[in-house]
Chain A
Amino acid sequence: MGFAKGDFLVTLLPFSVDHILLEYSCFKIGVIVAPLDLRLSAAEVIRALEILRPRGFVSLGFNALLDLRPLWRAVQERCPWIQHSIVMDSEDAIPGTQSFASIAEAASRAAASAESPILTEIVEDDGALVIFTTGSTGSPKPALLSHRNITVQNMCLCGAFFGGDRGTRTLVNLPPSHVGGQTEAMMSTFFGGGTAVLLEVFDAGRSLRAIAQHRVEILGQIPAMFNLEWMLKDYDRHDLSSLKFAAYGGHAVSRAFVDQLAAMSPVIGTGLGLTEAAGWCTYVLASTADCGSSDSEMIFAGLGVDMPIYPCTIRQPMREDGSAGDELPSGEIGHVCFRGPQTFLGYVNDPVATAKAISRDGFLYTGDLGYKDVAGLHLTGREKWVIKSFGYQIFPGDVEKHICALTEKVANCVVVGVAHEVVSEAVVAMVEKKAGAELNSRELDRHARGLPTYMRPRHWIILEAGQIPLNRIAKPDYVRAQEMVREEIAQLRARGEWDSGFVKA
Chain B
Amino acid sequence: MHVPQFTLDDYERDFADRHLLHGVVAKWAKARPEAIAILSTDGSRAVTWSEFDRLTTALA
List the interface of chain A (C-beta within 8 A of B). Answer: 16-17, 20-22, 24-29, 103-104, 107-108, 110-111, 117, 119, 122, 124, 128, 147-148, 150-152, 154-156, 159-160, 167, 171, 187, 190-191, 193, 195-200, 206, 209-210, 213-214, 267, 283-287, 290, 295, 304-305, 307-309, 340-341
Kindly list chain A residues whose C-beta atoms are within 8 Å of the C-beta of B37: 190, 195-196
Kindly list chain B residues whose C-beta atoms are within 8 Å of the C-beta of A210: 41
Name, among B1, B21, B49, B52, the residue most crowded by chain A CB atoms within 10 Å (CB to CB): B21
CA distance A71 to B40 in the complex (A): 27
Are B59 and A155 neighbours in the complex by a CB distance under 8 Å? no
CB of A14 to closest CB in B, whole Å: 11
CB of B26 to closest CB in A, whole Å: 9
Are B40 and A198 neighbours in the complex by a CB distance under 8 Å? yes
Q: Besides the contacts A24-B25, A197-B39, A197-B41, what 13 more A-B pairs have beta carbons closer than 8 Å?
A: A24-B56, A25-B55, A27-B56, A29-B60, A104-B59, A110-B58, A151-B19, A151-B24, A155-B18, A198-B39, A200-B40, A213-B43, A307-B7
Q: Which of B34-56 contact A (CB under 8 A)?
A: 35-41, 43, 45, 47, 49, 52, 54-56
CA distance A16 to B45 in the complex (A): 10
Are B22 and A193 neighbours in the complex by a CB distance under 8 Å? no
Are A304 and B38 neighbours in the complex by a CB distance under 8 Å? no
Are A117 and B15 neighbours in the complex by a CB distance under 8 Å? no
Given known pairs A17-B40, A28-B22, A195-B38, the reply for A307 and B32 (CB within 8 Å) is no
Are A111 and B6 neighbours in the complex by a CB distance under 8 Å? no
CB of A403 to closest CB in B, whole Å: 31
Q: Closest B-chain residue to A268, C-beta based? A: B1
CB of B51 to closest CB in A, whole Å: 9
CB of B31 to closest CB in A, whole Å: 7
Q: A159: which of B4, B8, B28, B32 is its contact (CB, 8 Å)?
A: B4
Q: Closest B-chain residue to A115, C-beta based? A: B58
CA distance A308 to B3 in the complex (A): 12
CA distance A267 to B5 in the complex (A): 18
Are A21 and B52 neighbours in the complex by a CB distance under 8 Å? yes
CA distance A104 to B58 in the complex (A): 8
CA distance A29 to B58 in the complex (A): 11
Are A283 and B3 neighbours in the complex by a CB distance under 8 Å? yes
CA distance A21 to B20 in the complex (A): 15
Are B21 and A151 neighbours in the complex by a CB distance under 8 Å? yes
Name, among B2, B45, B52, B58, the residue most crowded by chain A CB atoms within 10 Å (CB to CB): B58
CA distance A468 to B31 in the complex (A): 49
27 contacts between A and B (CB under 8 A): A21-B55, A21-B56, A24-B56, A25-B55, A25-B59, A25-B60, A27-B56, A29-B60, A107-B59, A108-B58, A111-B57, A122-B22, A148-B19, A150-B21, A151-B11, A151-B15, A191-B18, A193-B28, A193-B35, A197-B41, A213-B43, A283-B3, A284-B3, A285-B3, A308-B6, A309-B7, A309-B10
Are B21 and A309 neighbours in the complex by a CB distance under 8 Å? no
Q: B59: which of A21, A128, A198 is its contact (CB, 8 Å)?
A: A21
Are A167 and B7 neighbours in the complex by a CB distance under 8 Å? no
Kindly list chain B residues whose C-beta atoms are within 8 Å of the C-beta of A16: 40
Q: Closest A-chain residue to B48, C-beta based? A: A195
Q: A24: which of B4, B43, B52 is its contact (CB, 8 Å)?
A: B52
Given known pairs A117-B57, A155-B15, A284-B3, the reply for A24 and B38 (CB within 8 Å) is no
CB of A501 to closest CB in B, whole Å: 54
Q: Closest B-chain residue to A3, C-beta based? A: B60
Kindly list chain B residues whose C-beta atoms are within 8 Å of the C-beta of A340: 8
CB of B39 to closest CB in A, whole Å: 5
CB of B30 to closest CB in A, whole Å: 11
Kindly list chain A residues whose C-beta atoms are within 8 Å of the C-beta of B6: 155-156, 159-160, 307-309
Kindly list chain A residues whose C-beta atoms are within 8 Å of the C-beta of B43: 213
Are B11 and A160 neighbours in the complex by a CB distance under 8 Å? no
Q: Closest A-chain residue to B31, C-beta based? A: A193
Q: Give the 3 A-B residue pairs with the shortest CB-CB distance, closest first.
A: A25-B59, A111-B58, A285-B1
Kindly list chain B residues whose C-beta atoms are within 8 Å of the C-beta of A148: 19
Are A128 and B21 neighbours in the complex by a CB distance under 8 Å? yes
Name, among B6, B28, B31, B57, the residue most crowded by chain A CB atoms within 10 Å (CB to CB): B6
Q: Closest B-chain residue to A216, C-beta based? A: B41
Given known pairs A190-B37, A341-B8, A341-B11, the reply for A22 and B59 (CB within 8 Å) is yes
Are A195 and B21 neighbours in the complex by a CB distance under 8 Å? no
CA distance A470 to B8 in the complex (A): 38
